[in-house]
Structure 1
Amino acid sequence: MRVSVSWLREYLDLPADLPAADLEQALVDLGIEVESIVDLRSTVTGALVVGEVLDIEELTGFKKPIRFCRVDVGAANGTGEPQEIVCGARNFAPGDRVVVILPGGVLPGGFAIGARKTYGRNSHGMICSAKELGLGDDHSGIIVLPEDTPAKPGDDARPVVGLDDVVVEVEITPDRGYALSVRGIARELAHALGVPFRDPGLAPAPGATAEPAYPVEVRDTVGCDRFAARMVRGIDPTAQTPGWMRQRLTVAGVRSISLPVDITNYVMLELGQPMHAFDAARITGPLVVRRAAAGEKVTTLDGVARTLTAEDMVICDDTGPVSLAAVMGGETSEVVASTTDVLFEAAHWDPVMVGRTARRHKLFSEAAKRWERGVDPALPLVAIERAVGLLTAHAGGTAGAEILDLDHVGPRTPVTLPVDLPGRRVGVAYSPERVVSLLEQVGCHVTRGVDRLGEDPGTAGVPAGGADVLTVVPPSWRPDLTDPADLVEEVVRLDGYDRVPSVLPTAPPGRGLTWQQRRRRAVARSLAERGYVEVLAHPFVAGSLADLLGLPADDPRRAAVRVANPLSEEEPLLRTTLLGPLLGILKRNLGRGHRDLALYEIGAVFHPCPGVGAPPAMGVDRRPTDAEFAAADAVVPDQPRHVAVVLTGDVEPAGWWGAGRPAGWADAVEAGRAVLAAADLPADRVEVRAAEHAPWHPGRCAELLVDGVVVGHAGELHPAVLAALELPKRTSAMELDLDALPAAPVAPAPTISGFPPALIDVALVVDERVPAAQVQQALVEGAGELLEGVRLFDVYASEQLGAGRRSLAYKLTFRAPDRTLTVEEAVAARDAAVARAAERFGATLRGA
C-alpha cells in the first residue's frame, strides 16, 4: 500500500514539521511494517520546470519518428531563449505545457541529463514522461499538463506533478485489511501521534429509497450480505480525470483508465471499499447476484474467458454473468468511451469465497486483496455517495434520487474480556480505565460489569466472588477482533510494545529427550563420524520404482499410499523404502562429477493400513465427532522410521601411500553394525547372516537380526537394479527399521581392570556356509567370563583347506578383573572357546 502524506493530511492533523523518521517509527510502533518513506522532491535533482511547446519540426530519415522541439522554459535556462530539445514522443502539440528537465539535472535511477547532439540536432535537456520521473509505469508518452494548470513556463514543476510530496509504502499483514486504505492508515497514525482524526467513513449518506436505483435480486445472502447501487445519468463521456486524482492514483500504483473507473479506484484507496462502475446502457434486464453454475463462463476486464465453479459468485443480467463478483468486472458491461449512464455498485462479500475465487482463477486484483482481508460492511452507501459526488463534479450528469440498499448484515458478536487479562498476559499493569480507553480508541463499544458465575453483570466495583469484565462490541471495520486475545493485542499495541518488559520465561522442568530421540541422534552421529553425509530426500516416488528395484510381485513394499494432490503426477506415491529416493540423490551427485560418495538418511516410510477405505468427509462447520476422528486415524498409514546408507566409489582413496580401497558389500554391513552399536544393543543380541532380499545381490546380501528378528538388510545391490537406475557397479546399500529395534537395556558401568590382557589368535577352519557371526558367538559362549573381546580379522580360503572350506581368524582378548592371568588360565579359556565352536560347527584349528 502506497499513499502520499498530503492525502493523509486531509483526515488527520499531522505536524507540518514531522520528520520522516518519526512518521516511520509511529507506524512501526503500531505493528505496521514500513517498506519505505520517500521524499519525492529528492528523487529528481536539478532544474525541473514547466515548459510550453512553441513549435515542432518532424525529422525524417530515421527508424522511428523523431521531433525537434522548441520549448519556452522562461528564465529557468538563464537566457530566456527557447530551449531546443529532441524528443520521440508524439502525444503533444504546439501550445501544450510539458515537464522539462534542464541539463545538469538527474532523474530517478541516477540518469544524468546533459546537452548533446543527437539525430543531427543539438538537444538541451529532456521532455519527461511519468515513468522517467518515477511517477508511474506509463512510458508511451510524455506528461501533458492540464489546460487549467496555473503554473507558467519556467516555474518549478515539482508541485505541479506531485513531486513535492512524501510517499509512504507499508506492508499490511492479512489480519489488518482495514489498513489497506487512507482511512485506515490515517486512523492508525491518529492513535500513535495523538492528533485528531476525521473519519471519512462517517460522512453522511442518504439511505435506501422505496424505488431502487436498478432492479437487483440477491439470491445468496451468505456470499453477499449487502448490495447497494445508485445511478448517474447524462455524464460527459469525454470528461478527463482531474490531475490531482490521477496523481494520487499513480503514486498508489494504480493506472488511470477513465473518469468513472478512476473514481471507483480512488474511493477504494480512500475508504477501503472496492466498487464497480457498470455502463447502464450495456446491461440487459435486472441484475441477479448468485452462485455460478459449474462450467458457466465470463470474460473479465483483462480479456480472459474464465470457466466458473459452483463456489464463485457472479452478477448476472439477462445475457448471463456480467461480473466475477468481488474480483473483477466483465467486458460486456464495462464503462467505455461512449458511456453516459453509470451505475455504481458497492457491496459486501464473503471473504472466504473471494479468497478462494481469486486463487482458483489466479486473479489477485486490488479488490480481491481487500475483500479476503475483510471490508467494513457499513461503507457501501458512504462509498456510493462519495463516488457519485466526484463523478457529477467532474463529468456533470444527474445523480438519481433512487438508492438501492439490500442489507442483510448481522450485528457484531460481543466479546467478553476480563479487565485484568491484558496485564496478566503481558506483565504490564494496565488500569481498567486505560484498557477501556484504548479499546474505545480502536472504535469498540465497551460496557463494564461484573461476572458472578452466570449472574447479570453489576456496575462499578468488583465484589467478592465476582470478576470485573468488559463486554466489547468491535467496530464494523475490524472483522479481525473476535476473541479476547485479539482485544489484548490491541491494548498492548496501542499502549506501546516498548512498554512490555523483555523477560525470559523460566523453562518448565522436563525429562529431556526420549530414548527414541537419543537413539536417532546417536545413530546419525555414528554414521557421520564414519564419513557418511546426511541427505533429506522427498518422500514422493514414482509408481515404476518397485519395478526398477526388482521387488517381487508379492512384496509388501509394492503397496504404497497415493497422495490425493501430489506435487508431481510423475511421483504420486509415498515411499515404502528409503532406498529409492536415496539412490536418486546418489545418481544426481554422480551426474555432477562426484565419484566417491557415502550418503545416509533417517526418515519415515509409509505403509497403508490394510482393510481401510477412504477417509471420512468432514466439514468445517463443526468439530468432528470422536467416531469421525477414529475413522480418520484408521486411514493414516503406518510410518516407521528407517535409516539407510548408500555408497559407491573408493571408501579409502589412493595416493602416494598406496592403492585405495573401493566400497563394497562389507562396508554396507559394517554400517548396519555401527547403527546397532549406536543403538546400545549388545553384540550378543545382534546376528548377521546371509540372505536373499531385493534389491540386493542374492550372493552378497546380509540380513541384520536382533534377538532373532530381522530388522534390516545390507550388501551390494543387484546388477539389474544398478543397470536400471544407471548406477556404478558394486554400489552397496543398507536399510534398517529403527522403530523395530527394542529399547536398549540398562547397561551396568563397565569394570575397568588394571591388569594386563592376554592376547591369543585362533584360526578356525569351517564349512564356508557357516556364518562368521555364529562362529564368533560360539567362541564367546565357550570362553566364559575371562573373555574381554573377540574380533574377526582374517578370512582365508585355499586348495589346501579343501573345497567348500574357509579359515576364520579371530583375535581373542582375555583379562581378569582382580589378577594377572597365567598362561595356563588363558590357554584353558581359549581351548574352551575352540571346543564350543568345534562342537557346534565342526571347527578345527588351522594347522592342527
Structure 2
Amino acid sequence: MRVPLPWLAEHVDLVEGHGAEEVAAALVRVGLEEEAVHRSGVSGPVVVGRVLSVEPEPQKNGKTINWCSVDVGGPGPRGIVCGAHNFTVGDSVVVALPGAVLPGPFAIAARKTYGHVSDGMICSAAELGLGEDHAGIIVLGSFLGGAVPAPGADALALLGLDEETVEVNVTPDRGYCFSIRGVAREYAHATGRPVAAALRDPAAVEVRPPAGEGGGPRVRLADATPLRGRPGCDRFVTRIVTGLDPAAPSPAWLRRRLQQAGMRSISLPVDVTNYVMLATGQPLHAYDRAALRGDVVVRRAGAGERLTTLDGVERVLHPEDLLITDEAPDGSSRVLGLAGVMGGADSEVGTGTTDLVLEAAHFDQVSVARTARRHKLPSEAARRFERGVDPALPPAAAELAVRLLVEHGGAVAAPGGVDVDERGAGAVVQLPLDLPSRLVGVDYAEAQVREVLTEIGCTLGAADGGVLQVHPPSWRPDLAQPVDLVEEVARLRGYDAIPSVLPAAPAGRGLTRAQRARRSVARALADAGAVEVLSYPFVAPAVHEAMGLPADDPRRRALRLLNPLSDEQPLMRTSVLDSLVEVLRRNVSRGSRDLVVFEVGSVALPRADRGAAPLPGVGGRPAQEELAALAEAVPAQPRHVAALLAGARRGPGWQPDGWGRTPEPATWADAVELARTAAAAVGVELGVGAADVAPWHPGRCARLATADGVLLGFAGELHPRAVAALELPERTCALELDLDALVAAAAGRVPAPAMSAFPAALQDVSLVVDAAVPAADVEAALRAGGGDLLEDVRLFDVYTGDQVGAGQRSLAFGLRFRAADRTLTAEEAGGAREAAVAEAARRTGAVQRA
C-alpha cells in the first residue's frame, strides 16, 4: 500500500518534523513493514511559464518545431525549442530550467538544437512522471482545472512533485491497512496519541438516504451454497447518479493522488471509485445503468456459465464462484461480474455513460480469495476483500463516491438506491485479563489492557470472574480469539518492551546421532572444496524427460501440489539432483565455470498403493481415523545428499597458483571420491561397482553400496544427452546418496583409527584382469587376502594396450602393510602380499603382471 504523506496528513496529525523516513519508522513500530519511500525524481528549478510567442519552423526531415518565447518570471523571456503543438500564446506551461533533473535521470541544460539555443524544456506529463502522455505538453489551465499562479512560481509544489510517498507491506491479517484510513489509525497508535483526537476518519460522513424509491434495480442475495457455512455476501449497497457529464475530467488533485498510490487515471467514474477505495478500504464498482436489464442477484455460478471480464478474457466459471448477475423480467439471468474480483464487459461504464449504479458490498474473504486465485485475477478489490473489509463501510463509501461525482461530474444523486443488510451479530471474545501477562511475559495491568483494547476500537463489556467480554470493531475480522487480543496489547505497548530471556538448556539434550551424522557429512563435503546450497524442492515435469528417466522409473511418480508456488513447477522432487541442476545452471549462466555444489535435503517418494489425503472439515478437531488417514497418505520423505561437479577440480592443491600448476578437469572418479568422503565422515566404507542408471553415462556410472550390499546411491559422469537437455557444462559429473540409509548403516560412533609407532612396508602389485571386472572387486579381494597386516590399498594406475592383450587391463595397486607391535620383516610383508594376490586370483582370475 502506497501512502502519500500529504494525503495521510489530511486524516491524521503528523508529528512535527516527520518526513517519509520518520513516518515509515513509526509504522514499523506497530508491525507495518516498510517497503520503500517514493519520490518524484524531479528536482531543481521547475517553474510555471507563460508562452509569449510561438514561431513554427519546418525542418528538412519533415518535422515542424516551435521556437517559443516563454516568460518564467525572470528579468527577461527565455527561448525554448518545443516539438509539441497543443499549446498557444498565452498558455501557462511547466518549464524545466537548466539545472533541473527529470525522471530517468535526465539533466536539463541549455543546448543548441535546430539552429537555436534552447534555454530549458517545456514539459509533458510523461516527462515529469505524471502520466503516460508524450503527445503534448501540460497546459496548466486545463490540467489544474482552476487558476494558475504567475510565471516563475514553483511548479513542483503546484503539481505535488515535491511530495513523498511511503510504501508499506500489509500482512494478511491487517487488511484494514490497505487504506489511508487504516494507515492513519496505525500512525496514531505508533505516535502514542488517542485515535479519537488525532484521526479524521474519511468514512465519517453523514449518509444521506436516497430521496424516495424507484428507478433503480432491486437487489437479492441468493447464495444457495455458502462456503464454510458463511454467505458469500451479507451486505449490498447501491446508489444511483444521473446526468453525469461523460467528458468531465478527473480533477488534477485526484489524478495526482492515484498516481502517487501507483494507479493510473482512466475516467472520472473509475477514478472516483478507485480514490474512495484507497481512502476507506472499501472497493466499489460502477455499472452503466442503461445496460442493466432488471434486478441484481448475488448467487453462485451455474454449470457451463461464462463471463468476459473487463480485461477482455472469456472465463469458464466454477460452481464456487460468487457472481453479480441481473435478472430480466422474463426470468433470464446474465452474469455482470465476479463478486469482489472484477466486473464484466457487458455493463462496463463507457465514454457515453451518463447514468450510473454504484455498488458497495461486503463479500466473504475465502470466497473472494478462491475465485481470484482460480482465475488468476489479483485485482485491487480482491486484494482487500480476501484480507477482510469493514462490513460497516459500504453506505459511507457509496456516499463519498456520489458526492465526488456530483461535485466534479455535474451528476445528480437520484432516488432508487438500496441497502440489503443481512449481517449477523458480531463475535464476542472472552479474554482472561491475566492472559496477556502470562503469554507475553510482561506484567500488564488491567487498566493497560482495557486502554489498548479501547484504543483499537473494541467495545468492552463486563469482566466476570476475571474474564473480559470484548466486542472487536467491525474493521478487525482478524480479532477472533483471545490470543489475537493479546497480540494487540503486546504490539501497541511495544515489542521492544518485551525482555529477551534466554531459556535454560536442559541437561542431557542436544543433537541426535542422525543430526550429528548429517552435519558431519556436510562438513566433510565442504572441507573437500564443495559449496553447500539450498534449492526449492519444486520441479517441472520436464526435468524427468531431460534426465532421460525410463517411462517405468519410480522417480517419475512425483507428488503434484494442488496449489504450487509456480504452475511451471508443480511437482515435489524425487531426487535432489532434479532441483540442484537449476543451481548449477544459474551459476554457469552468470560466469562461473569451475563449480562443485552440494545440497542436503529431503525428497518426496509417494507410494502407488496410497490414495490422496482426505480433506477434513474445519468445524472441529479431526477424528482419530481422519488423522490416521492423513498420516498414511503422507509420502516417504528420506533425506538425500547430492553434488554436481563441473569444470576443473576443486579442493586443496587443485587451484591454479604461482607455480604454474593447472587444475585438471573433474571426472567421474572425482564424483566417486566425493561420495566416499561423505560416507567416510560417518564411518561407512563404500563398495563401488559398475551400473547403468539414468541420468548417468552407462560406461561412467558407479553403484555405491555398503559392505552388506545395501544400495546407497550412484555417482559418475552425467549422460551427454542429459547434459545437453539440462544446459549444463560438458562432462558434468554428479552423485546422489540416500543420506538416511547412510546414517543407518553407520556405527553409533566413528572409531578413531588405530595408530602404530612402527614403520609401514610398502608393496606395489600389478594385476591383469578381464576388462569387465570392476576394480572394486579386485581391491576387495586384495583386502580380504592381505589379512590384519594390510593397512591400506590404493589404485594408482590403469593400463590398457598391446602389452596386456585385447579385452584385458592392468590394475596397479599400492599396498601398505604394518603391524601394531613390531617392525615387519621383508618375509612377512612379502608373504602378506602373496596371500593378497592369491585371493585376488581366486576371486577375479587376476594374473600378476611380469
TM-score normalized with structure 1 length: 0.78
Residue 149 of structure 1 and its aligned partner are, at CA, apart by: 3.0
Equivalent positions of 1:87-486 (< 5 A) are 87-94=82-89, 96-101=91-96, 107=102, 111-113=106-108, 118-119=113-114, 123-141=118-136, 142-146=138-142, 149-154=146-151, 156-158=153-155, 161-163=158-160, 166-174=163-171, 175-193=173-191, 194=193, 195-206=197-208, 211=213, 213-220=216-223, 222-293=231-302, 295-317=304-326, 318=328, 320-449=334-463, 457-458=464-465, 468-486=466-484
How many angstroms does 1:440 deviate by? 0.7
State the shift of 1:706 in Å. 3.5
- Closer/same/farther in 2, CA of residues 249 and 594 from structure 1, 3 Å limit: closer
Matching of residue 493 in structure 1 with residue 491 in structure 2: yes
In the TM superposition, what whole-angstrom CA distance separates every residue of 1:416-462 from its partner, at most 9, and x where no partner exists?
Answer: 2232333344443322111111111110112352xxxxxxx24xxxx
Task: Give the Å deviation of 1:349.
Answer: 1.6
Alignment partner of 1:226: what SS? strand
In the aligned structure 2, how far is the partner of 1:259 from the partner of 1:803?
Answer: 87
- Corresponding residue of 2:45: 46
Contact persistence 2:210–2:413 (CA under 8 A):
no
1:266-295: CA deviation from partner (whole Å, max 9, x where unpaired): 222222222122221232222222233455
Question: Cα–Cα, structure 1 residues 332 and 71, in superposed 2: closer, same or farther, change >3 Å?
Answer: farther
Check conservation: 1:72, 1:153, Cα contact below 8 A: no
Change (3 A) 1:645 1:776: farther
Structure 2 letter corresponding to 1:219: A
Q: 1:96 to 1:257 in 2, by over 3 A?
A: farther
Aligned to 1:520: 518
Give the structure 1 partner of residue 32 of structure 2. 32
Residues 337 and 70 from structure 1, CA distance in 2 versus in 1: closer, same or farther, beyond 3 angstroms? farther
C-alpha distance in 2, partners of 1:301/1:478? 31
Pairing of 1:691-706 with structure 2 (within 5 A)? 705-706=705-706
- Residues 363-762 of structure 1 mapped to structure 2, 5 A cutoff: 363-449=377-463, 457-458=464-465, 468-507=466-505, 511-530=509-528, 540=539, 557=554, 560-561=557-558, 563=560, 602-604=600-602, 607-618=605-616, 623-643=621-641, 673-681=676-684, 705-706=705-706, 708-712=708-712, 736-741=737-742, 742-746=744-748, 756-757=758-759, 759=761, 761=763
- Secondary structure of the residue aligned to 1:476 is coil
Q: Secondary structure at the match of 1:489?
A: helix
208-217 or 823-832, which deviates more:
823-832
**Residues 688, 773 of structure 1: 8 Å contact kept:** no
Q: Which amino acid aligns with 1:372?
A: E
Q: CA, structure 1 residues 321+527, in 2 after alignment: closer, same or farther (shift >3 Å)? A: same
Q: Give the letter for the 1:29 counterpart.
A: R
**Residue 201 of structure 1: SS of its match in structure 2?**
coil
The Cα shift of 1:127 comes to: 3.6
Match of 1:463 in 2: none
Describe the superposition over 1:707-763 as per-residue Cα deviations: whole angstroms up to 9, x where unpaired: 533324768779998999899999977655443344433569769677535637596
| SS in structure 2 at match of 1:630 | helix
Supply the distance in 2 between the matched residues of 1:482 and 1:721 (Cα, whole angstroms): 57
Alpha-carbon distance, 1:77 to partner:
2.2
Question: What is the deviation of 1:697?
Answer: 8.5
CA–CA separation in structure 2 for the residues paired with 1:835 and 1:373: 76
> Contact between 2:141 and 2:148, CA under 8 Å: does it hold in 1?
no
Q: Report if the CA contact (8 A) 2:766-2:849 is conserved.
A: no
Structure 1 CA distance for aligned equivalents of residues 424 and 413 of structure 2 = 30
For 1:739, the aligned partner's letter is D
**Are 1:687 and 1:708, in contact at CA under 8 Å, matched by a contact in 2?**
no
Question: Which range is displaced more, 487-496 or 358-367?
Answer: 358-367
**How much identity, in percent, do the aligned residues show?**
45
- Cα distance in 1 for partners of 2:812, 2:110 equals 94
Cα distance, 1:227 vs structure 2: 0.5
Q: Secondary structure at the match of 2:299?
A: strand
Residues 560 and 575 of structure 1 are in contact (CA less than 8 Å); yes or no, is this contact kept in structure 2? no
Question: Which segment is superposed worse, 5-14 or 713-722?
Answer: 713-722
User: How big is each residue's C-alpha offset from its partner over 1:484-525, in whole Å with a ceiling of 9 and x where there is no partner?
Assistant: 333223223322334334454545557333322333333344
1: CA distance between counterparts of 2:69 and 2:785? 108
Q: State the AA in 2 paired with 1:775.
A: A
CA change 1:55–1:258 in 2 (3 A) is farther
Cα contact 2:533–2:597 (8 A) shared by 1: yes
Quote the offset at 1:385 in angstroms: 1.9
Quickly say closer, same or farther: Cα 1:363–1:87, change in 2 above 3 A.
farther
Matching residue's letter, 2:7: W
Q: CA deviation at 1:378?
A: 0.2
Cα distance in structure 1, aligned partners of 2:234 and 2:688: 72
User: 8 Å contact 2:324–2:335 — kept in the other structure?
Assistant: yes
Amino acid at match of 1:286: D
Looking at structure 2, the residues matched to 155 and 628 of structure 1 have their Cα atoms a distance apart, in angstroms, of 76
**Corresponding letter in the other structure for 1:489:** E
Asked whether the equivalents of residues 706 and 745 of structure 2 are also in contact (C-alpha less than 8 Å), the reply is no
Q: CA 1:57–1:313 in structure 2 vs 1: closer, same or farther (change >3 Å)? A: farther
Contact 2:5 2:166 in 1 (8 A): no
Deviation larger for 207-216 or 342-351: 207-216
**What letter corresponds to residue 296 of structure 2 in structure 1?**
L
Taking structure 1 as reference, are residues 281 and 424 closer, same or farther at Cα in structure 2, changes over 3 Å only? same
Mark the CA change 1:830 to 1:506 in structure 2 (over 3 Å): closer, same or farther.
same
Q: Which one-letter code corresponds to 2:140 in the other structure?
A: V
- 1:538-559 per-residue CA deviation (whole Å, 9 max, x = no partner) reads 67476896897686x9x86476
SS at structure 1 position matched to 2:710: strand
1:407 deviates by 1.0
Q: Distance in 1 between matches of 2:825 and 2:111?
A: 106
Aligned partner of 1:465 in structure 2 is: none
Counterpart check, 1:775 vs 2:789? no
The more displaced of 611-620 and 341-350 is: 611-620
With over 3 angstroms needed to count, the CA separation of the structure-2 counterparts of 1:809 and 1:748, relative to structure 1, is: closer
Unmatched 5+ residue regions in structure 1? 450-456, 459-467
SS at match of 2:164: strand
**Alpha-carbon distance in 1 for matches of 2:539, 2:75:** 73
Query: Paired residue for 1:464?
Result: none
Q: Helix, strand or coil for the counterpart of 1:709?
A: coil
Q: 1:202 to 1:777 in 2, by over 3 A?
A: same
**Aligned partner of residue 343 in structure 1, secondary structure:** strand
Indicate conservation of the 8 Å contact 1:765/1:843, yes or no.
Answer: no
Alignment length, in residue pairs? 815
Larger radius of gyration: 1
Name the Cα RMSD after superposition.
Answer: 5.1
